[in-house]
Chain A
Amino acid sequence: MKQPLFALVDCNNFFVSCERLFRPELNTTPVVVLSSNDGCAISRSNEAKALGIPMGAPAFKYRQLFQDNGVVSFSANFELYGDISRRLTQILTSVTPRIEVYSVDECFLDLSRLAIKDHLEWGRNLRARILKELGIPVSIGIAGSKTLSKIATEIGKQELHRGGVCDLYHMSIKDRRDTIAKVKVRNIWGIGRRLAPQLQAEGITNAAEMAGLRPARARQLMGVHGEQMVYELNGTSCIPLERQHKLQKMISRGRTFGEDTNQPHVVEAALASFATQSAFRLRQSGQLTKRLQVWLSTDRHKPGHRQWSREVLFGTPTADTGQLITSAVQAFAEIYDKSAAYHRASVTLFDFSPAGQLQTDLLGEVDPTLHGQKTERLRAVDGLNKRYGKNTVHYAAQDLADAWEPRKMLRSPRYTTNWDELPLIRPFK
């Protein structure tokens, strides 16, 4: 049995980095990407973070600050992000097929079967390769457990001298303890805002102190989960790489929120991750999906329990990350209830068929699959409008509510997934 060894590849400020790939002049400008449903910051450049713009900051509240500091904001372009994310997972799969797509911008790699001499150098090379080929800066954390690799990534990101890569595995126990002591307990993977104060009350403030906790005590405090975390923090892997082994008829990803939320951008970000994870699994299994379902519920242990779901039917089967994210986010916008305290959300794909050719093809100026789908959708819309009166169904972009319009206008072109929106390039005279 080989010793477990993981690397986490985490994109820095992913959505902003995707925008910058095609707007390199913004490389030193503060940039934020706003969620498409409520205009809250879901990705911030380092410059924007330095201005004190928090995650989830509503654009309307920060308008003055944006103006005063020349902050450039974009509305989320999930088609672009999905495409870059897909390319990243493809690059990583070429490094090792043993990967787990954790979210739209994070992947775990199982390194235990790779012959690597110098892991730091390996990490730096991979980082350089991704930066060159995709233009996306990443941080890489290497460790004996997934929890530690998360921490390593964070350290690689924070401490500039490390060049984006941190290896906690090939490090003495003392050095590792000193290094992870810099990570606050609330930033440990799996410790939410709920658990952190409880641990702090126990005198546990950082990851090293958490690692020093007796497993039995951790179990008393946080259950099996806590005990597992102590082992993980000491480099003993308890959480294996999640991979798909057999053909599935249905792929579902979801989770419970750290705390109940009614904020659309929080739900949107979660749905984007679920859609990305599901899309990857779907492609891995060599299949395409015809249906996507978004499901949401409030806490069923609380009074007034409710659930919502919305299904999207694809005219042409797809496994396209961008399309699945976009559909999930749109479906959510249609069922969003301002008064709801969302507790859990999931994305489910079903009704599969074997995959054919997927990529935007040079030969298909009008991509036959997309075309077919658009016409079919249009036909459905037309049918409804005919039956129930004009504008019964319309697209968000043509929504009469003016609040929607300016946000939509901030969306960058779909540079990589739409022939009509390719970047323009000028011959140099």
Chain B
Amino acid sequence: MPEPNDDGVAIHAGFPNPASDRDLAEVDLHRLLVKQPTSTFFMKIDGNDWEDRSIFDGDIVVIDRSLDPRKKDLVVATKDDTFLITPFSKLPTDCVLWGTVTAVIHRYRT
């Protein structure tokens, strides 16, 4: 039987922590956001034109080129020498599709 400690909580000692092995389950943000590493690219939002969509300057955009965009997707397109982020449904005709956005990451502290 485990002995109660100073706080009156009983703890088991000597039992190996199954999570100490790093190969065991560990939530991995990279894996969550990058399903296809070979076709996934990151870009950085330039400017605050989409504040109303809560997408801000410096946010990181995750793009998977292997996906076929659906109506409601955000996509990356190129127009002349600029990369644009736009809803697929509103993709301007003079733009060329570059990839499908799978996530936009906003950090509150860096």
Contact = CB atoms under 8 A, between A and B. Distances in A.
Interface of A: 23-25, 87-88, 90-91, 94, 132-135, 359, 361-363, 365, 415-416, 422-429
A424 B84 contact: no
A365 B45 contact: no
Given A90-B38, A423-B44, A426-B82, A363 B76 contact: no
A424 B38 contact: no
B85 A24 contact: no
A361 B110 CA distance: 15
B73 interface: no
B50 A427 contact: yes
Contacts of B39: 87, 132-134
Contacts of A134: 38-39, 65
A422 B37 contact: no
24 contacts: A25-B80, A94-B38, A134-B39, A359-B37, A361-B30, A362-B34, A363-B29, A363-B30, A365-B110, A416-B41, A424-B43, A424-B44, A424-B46, A425-B43, A426-B45, A426-B46, A426-B47, A427-B45, A427-B53, A427-B84, A427-B86, A428-B77, A428-B92, A429-B49
The 9 closest A-B pairs by CB, nearest first: A133-B39, A427-B50, A428-B86, A424-B46, A427-B49, A425-B83, A425-B43, A25-B81, A428-B84
A426 B30 contact: no
Contacts of A359: 30, 37
A102 B77 CA distance: 33
A270 B68 CA distance: 38
Contact of A423 (B33, B83, B86): B83
B66 A24 contact: no
Given A24-B98, A425-B46, A362 B80 contact: no
B29 A362 contact: yes
Contacts of B37: 87, 90, 359
B38 A91 contact: yes
A26 to B, nearest CB: 8
Task: Please indicate which of the listed interface residues B38, B47, B53, B86 has the most CB atoms of chain A within 10 Å of its own CB.
Answer: B38
B41 A426 contact: no
A415 to B, nearest CB: 8
Contacts of A361: 30
B85 A133 contact: no
Contacts of B53: 427
A264 B30 CA distance: 39
Given A362-B34, A415-B41, A424-B46, 4 more contacts: A359-B30, A425-B83, A427-B84, A428-B92
Contacts of B47: 426-427
Given A362-B33, A363-B29, A426 B84 contact: yes
